[in-house]
Amino acid sequence: MRRLHAYGGLTPLTSFAAAIAATSPDLVVPCDDLAVLHLHQLYHRERHRADRGASTCALIERSLGAPASFPIVRARTAFIELAEEEGIRVPTTATIANLDDLRAWVAGAGLPVVLKSDGTSGGDGVRIACTPHEAERAFRALQAPPPWARAAKRTLVNHDTRLVWPSLLRQRSTVNAQAFVPGREATSTVACWQGTVLASLHFEVLSKQEASGPSTVLRHIQHPEMSAAVERMVRRLNLSGMYGFDFMLEAQFSRAYLIEINPRATQVGHLALGPGRDLPAALHAAIMGRSVQESAPVTEKDTITLFPHEWLRNPESPYLRSSYHDVPWEEPQFVRLCVGTRRKRDRLYSQRGWAHILSPARLPRQ
């Protein structure tokens, strides 16, 4: 990390434009969905400035791919419909505008149903409902704008103003319903350039922080159906940069169902695992017009444990000893920060535990 630039949640496009102007980057690599949205919005803003915005538009297009794909990679149902056109195995998916749509979906497709809101990641906008009541309650929660109290707390305590405008403007999220596929979760991450996959990594998920949360342990696999699906979608959308694709591997036959795209770098994108599996090296070579200078694999083990997530989930996890534990030892300040985060969390949970034990509802009656 050489230089930091201030992000203003109230004026995000100004923040992004200032950072770009200060650094003149060759490439921008977004690492969360909100950053992707801002880059898409900045592209459309700069396009209306004609020649004055041409360099920024060129940078964003070089970093993310064809602008025509921007709305599709942010909309879950549109992406799945396009994948189905490509002959890729996908679960039935539809946009749900209201409770009547949801009830019609449940009547036709049945339960359980997976409800997902656009523009979310890390499981924050995903709910699995097994009953009509659960489905309706989840839909209301996912569609609702951020509560004012939550936005105020994030602003005053966390100095995070990202929820201010969505809360004030009462912005509702787009919610999608997707048929539940029983099986094992899997994920792919790729570096691509002008519609061609340069390097890719495919993993089966072995452990997660929560049922719908981010992965903590993965096993590196080879899966031809996953590879083919990713290559088709990268070509169809004419993508550039780093992208992630999530799958469900069917329980009985391990057939791969493509369930969504992550239009950004994902948490495993930095792993160098040999020829054709070093995403940063492949992307750098494409930008510079050179041959790929790949580094040696960081490990020969198939199982990767992600730091600090699995350690935070369970400090006694056997994966911490048996797999490759991806600890950034070369960044001791970051490691210390993660250790401190766990200590704070443990203290908070301990306080909550005592508060729960000593709550009036649990105190013995006199």
37-69 pLDDT per residue, tens: 999 999 999 999 989 999 999 999 999 999 999
Angular region, 84: left φ>0, alpha ψ -120 to 50, beta rest: alpha
Give span(s): CATH 3.30.470.20, the chain.
Answer: 183-326
Per-residue confidence in pLDDT tens, the chain, 366 aa = 789 999 988 899 999 999 999 999 999 999 999 999 999 999 999 999 989 999 999 999 999 999 999 999 999 999 999 999 999 999 999 999 999 999 999 999 999 999 999 887 767 789 999 999 999 999 999 999 988 888 888 888 877 888 888 888 888 999 999 999 999 999 999 999 999 999 999 999 999 988 777 899 999 999 999 999 999 999 999 999 999 999 999 988 789 999 999 999 999 999 999 999 999 999 999 999 999 987 899 999 999 999 999 998 999 999 999 999 999 999 999 899 888 877 776 665 555 443 443 333 333 333
Q: Which residue is associated with the tokens 């992965």?
A: 215
- Every domain of the chain with CATH number 3.30.1490.20 lies at 92-179
Q: Is the peptide bond before 112 cis (omega within 30 degrees of 0)?
A: yes
Phi/psi at 116 (5° precision)? -135, 140
Q: Does the 183-326 domain belong in CATH 3.20.20.80?
A: no
Q: For residue 166, what pLDDT is reported?
A: 85
Q: What's the half-sphere exposure (Cβ side, CA atoms, 13 Å) at 150?
A: 9
CATH code of the region 92-179: 3.30.1490.20
Q: What's the pLDDT at 147? A: 87
